[in-house]
């Protein structure tokens, strides 16, 4: 009997109840071997959505009024319980996703640190957005009333888990952590590609809900596909949506949310090719180092990271040949690694074939082959030129996986033209020596308009979870360009300000009372302070 047999029921977690699905049976699949993993799961039915949403709405009134310490301690318990799963969890993740142990451990630490970071955010209290404009009774011609503002959560949040980060962007990932921090109950639609991982993490959250005496509807976990997803987004008790996945999937949720009698926001992180710009000085000085570093970034996670560098633009001249050559050599050395699931692998292969078929695109190199890996992803490097790139918008399309195109650009003017032609991105990267700062200064204002994060002399993969990060960006990178799904600002997505006018002291929430009993930052008559 394996660990999974002991701990996994194959059921949905709806509040405190285990509820079996009634739809088609499915299994986690080990993408290394193609082996079917036990137990079986089934998709849920509309009645499951109905019950999870009803419980979430019931929980909302209580949960949103928990004090900062209770909510922060709850988030920390979630983190502790997930950490406590140890190898039961990390082994299951590897089995369901093929992600090697070291990366799973890193992602686990990132996930639980993120929960603890949001606990600190909750305690610090700036997210409450407290503002007080005191009354001026003797103002003429009219007295000024007392106005106080705080932020409250929107309501229950539906979270759609991603396949590529089975912990950090899944059941207890950034969307769930920031929604729970904001005071919003969460209903997760698990990603069918890692159902066992989802159940393990879901049980940890449920246990933390119980341990802190929170209402059971604070958290539910459903299994389902598109139909259940649409039912969730259109349930009137769901008030916001977090999503990480494909453009097609994200746009379907955006459309469903906009068509509701009362539309709701969808925070969808969808697709990005993460352009990299190599300026002449950088190519001259370090072309041979940039090539392998590029391939290392490209092949991290078998290219299945949202910030994988799918396009590199380099001005033709000294070093460009050396860069392409060193990248090609490094790429040829890469071993085949398992992609997350057969669907992703097939889409990747189709994307590579699409590029191969284009006259204006030449193959530079392919990674090694290995037929023993069921869902093997074989890296691919292509080259084209700037004029061809500008002429064919299809070259901007994301091939999810370790495929990338180096674009030989004629000159700085064409580089700027390309920067202005790009779709919205999560990231844009510049490699520049001090000699290049004139060109970089011209490029930067273009790049900040199309990307959420601009990286210098590094690579876009690797997203810090902190205060200053933006993991977001203009459409179609996301459906909500003014937000981030990673980092402390993510909490803002699930809050809205409310103003209270001339409210009797005993009816005011603590964060707006005279004397600042919570000791939080507040803006009083426009001045920030903690008094």
State the catalytic residues: 269, 306
Q: Per-residue b/e over 123-136, b at no fewer than 16 CB within 10 Å?
A: eebebbbbbbbeee
Q: How far is the CB of 61 from a copy of itself (least distance, A)?
A: 6
Exposure string of 267-290, with b = 16+ CB inside 10 Å and e = fewer, is bbbbbbbbbbbbbbbbbbbbbeeb
By beta-carbon proximity to a copy of itself, the closer residue of 86 and 529 is 529
Candidate list 421, 498, 514, 519; residue touching a copy of itself; CB under 8 A? 498
Is residue 268 within 8 A of residue 256, CB to CB? The reply is no
Number of H helices, E strands in the chain: 15, 23
Pairing of strands 219-222, 276-278: unpaired
Cβ proximity to a copy of itself: between 36 and 144 the closer is 144
Contact 312, 320 (CB under 8 A): no
Structure tokens at 52: 């999870």
523 contacts a copy of itself (rule: CB under 8 A): yes
Q: How far apart are CA 253 and CA 104, in angstroms?
A: 29
| SS3 category, 18 | strand
Smaller CB distance to a copy of itself: residue 375 or 486? 486
Q: Which is nearer to a copy of itself, 254 or 380 (CB)?
A: 254
Measured from the CB atom, the residue of 155 and 280 that comes closer to a copy of itself is: 155
Shortest separation between residue 238's beta carbon and a copy of itself, angstroms: 14
Give the Cα separation of 528 and 74 in Å (integer): 29
Give the list of residues 6+ apart from residue 32 with CB closer than 8 angstroms, or none.
98, 338, 373, 374, 375
421 makes contact with a copy of itself (CB under 8 A): no
Q: Does 149 bind a copy of itself (CB under 8 A)?
A: yes
Question: Residue 188's beta-bridge partner residues?
Answer: 159, 221
Size of the site for a copy of itself (CB under 8 A): 76
Contact set for a copy of itself, span 432-491 (CB under 8 A): 432, 434, 437, 440-441, 444-445, 448-449, 451-458, 462, 464, 466-470, 472, 474-476, 479, 481-482, 484, 488-489
Site string for a copy of itself, 291-330 (x = CB under 8 A): ----------------------------------------
Going by their DSSP bridges, the two strands 311-315 and 276-278 should be labelled as: parallel
Q: CA-CA distance, 521 to 124, in Å (whole number)?
A: 8
Residue numbers 89-148 binding a copy of itself by CB under 8 A: 106, 120, 124, 126, 131-133, 141-142, 144-145, 147-148
C-beta of residue 233 within 8 angstroms of C-beta of residue 223 = no
Smallest separation, CB 335 to a copy of itself (Å): 22
Q: How far is the CB of 124 from a copy of itself (least distance, A)?
A: 7
Q: How far is the CB of 41 from a copy of itself (least distance, A)?
A: 34
Which x/- pattern, by CB under 8 A, does the window 6-45 give for a copy of itself? ----------------------------------------
| Cβ proximity to a copy of itself, 1 vs 505, nearer residue | 505
H/E segment holding residue 242: strand 240-244
Reduced DSSP (H G I as helix, E B as strand, rest coil) percent helix, strand, coil of the chain, to 5: 45, 20, 35
Does 61 help bind a copy of itself (rule: CB under 8 A)?
Answer: yes
Out of 46, 86, 213, 263, the only residue in the binding site for a copy of itself (CB under 8 A) is 263
**Any contact of residue 497 with a copy of itself (CB under 8 A)?**
yes
Instruction: Check residue 510 for interaction with a copy of itself (CB under 8 A).
Output: no
Q: How far apart are CA 128 and CA 68, in angstroms?
A: 10
> Is residue 515 near a copy of itself by the rule CB under 8 A?
no
Q: CB 327: neighbour CB atoms within 10 A?
A: 26
Give the orientation angle of helix 195-211 with respect to helix 68-84, to 10 degrees: 140
Longest dimension (CA), the chain: 83
Segment contacting a copy of itself (CB under 8 A): 152-160, 228-236, 325-333, 338-346?
152-160
**Least separation in angstroms between CB 419 and a copy of itself:** 13
How far apart CA 423 and CA 363 sit, in angstroms, is: 24
Nearest to 351 by CA among 421, 402, 385, 424: 402
Smallest gap from Cβ 208 to a copy of itself, in A, equals 24
The pairing of beta strand 337-338 with beta strand 376-377: antiparallel
- Using the rule CB under 8 A, is 185 a contact of a copy of itself? no
- Measured from the CB of residue 111, what is the shortest distance to a copy of itself in angstroms? 16
The reply to whether 237 sits near a copy of itself by the rule CB under 8 A is no
Min. distance of Cβ 199 from a copy of itself in angstroms?
A: 29
Identify residues 165-184 at the interface with a copy of itself (CB under 8 A).
none
Task: Report the alpha-carbon distance of residue 43 to residue 136 in Å, rounded.
Answer: 59
Residue of 93, 154, 228, 238 that binds a copy of itself (CB under 8 A): 154
Measured CA to CA, the distance from residue 215 to residue 219 in angstroms comes to 9
Compute the least distance from the CB of residue 195 to a copy of itself, in Å. 29
- Looking at residue 409, the DSSP 8-state letter turns out to be E
Q: Is 317 left (phi over 0), alpha (psi -120 to 50) or beta?
A: left
């Amino acid at each position: 009997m394996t660990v999974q047999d002991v701990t996994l029921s194959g059921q949905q977690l709806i509040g405190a109840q285990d509820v079996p699905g009634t739809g088609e049976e499915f299994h986690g699949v080990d993408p290394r071997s193609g082996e079917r993993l036990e137990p079986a799961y089934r998709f849920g039915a509309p009645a499951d959505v109905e019950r999870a949403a009803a419980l979430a709405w019931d929980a909302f009134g209580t949960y949103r009024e928990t004090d900062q310490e209770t909510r922060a301690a709850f988030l920390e318990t979630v983190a502790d319980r997930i950490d406590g799963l140890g190898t039961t969890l990390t082994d299951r993740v590897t089995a369901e996703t093929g992600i090697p142990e070291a990366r799973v451990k890193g992602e686990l630490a990132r996930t639980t640190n993120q929960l603890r970071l949001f606990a600190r955010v909750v305690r610090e209290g700036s997210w409450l957005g407290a503002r007080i404009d005191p009354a001026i009774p003797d103002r003429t011609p009219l007295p000024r009333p007392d106005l106080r503002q705080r932020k409250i959560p929107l309501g229950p949040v539906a979270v759609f888990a991603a396949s590529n980060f089975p912990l950090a962007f899944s059941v207890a990932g950034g969307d769930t952590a920031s929604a729970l921090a904001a005071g919003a109950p969460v209903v997760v639609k698990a990603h069918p590609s890692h159902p066992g991982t989802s159940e393990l993490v879901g049980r940890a959250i449920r246990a933390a809900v119980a341990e802190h005496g929170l209402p059971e509807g604070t958290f539910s976990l459903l299994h389902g596909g598109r139909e259940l997803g649409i039912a969730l987004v259109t349930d009137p008790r769901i008030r916001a949506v977090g999503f990480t996945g494909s453009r097609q999937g994200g746009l379907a949720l955006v459309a469903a949310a906009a068509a509701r009698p009362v539309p709701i926001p969808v925070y969808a992180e969808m697709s990005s090719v993460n352009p990299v710009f190599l300026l002449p000085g950088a190519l001259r000085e370090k072309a041979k180092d940039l090539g392998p570093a590029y391939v290392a970034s490209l092949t991290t996670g078998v290219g299945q990271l949202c910030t994988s560098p799918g396009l590199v633009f380099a001005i033709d001249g000294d070093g460009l040949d050396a860069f392409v050559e060193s990248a090609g050599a490094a790429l040829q050395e890469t071993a085949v690694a398992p992609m997350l699931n057969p669907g992703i692998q097939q889409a990747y292969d189709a994307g590579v074939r699409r590029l191969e078929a284009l006259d204006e695109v030449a193959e530079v190199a392919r990674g090694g082959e290995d037929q023993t890996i069921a869902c093997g992803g074989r890296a691919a490097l292509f080259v084209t030129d700037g004029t061809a790139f500008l002429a064919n918008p299809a070259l901007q399309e994301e091939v999810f996986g370790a495929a990338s195109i180096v674009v030989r650009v004629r000159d700085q003017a064409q580089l700027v033209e390309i920067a202005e032609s790009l779709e919205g991105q999560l990231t844009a990267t510049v490699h520049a020596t001090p000699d290049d700062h004139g060109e970089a200064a011209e490029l930067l204002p273009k790049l900040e308009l199309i990307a959420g994060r601009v990286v210098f002399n590094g690579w876009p993969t690797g997203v810090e979870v902190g205060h200053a990060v933006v993991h977001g960006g203009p459409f179609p990178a996301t459906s909500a360009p003014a937000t981030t799904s990673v980092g402390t600002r993510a909490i803002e997505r699930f809050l809205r300000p409310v103003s209270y006018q001339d409210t009797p002291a005993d009816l005011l929430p603590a964060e707006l009372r005279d004397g600042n009993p919570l000791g939080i930052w507040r803006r009083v008559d426009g001045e920030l302070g903690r008094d």
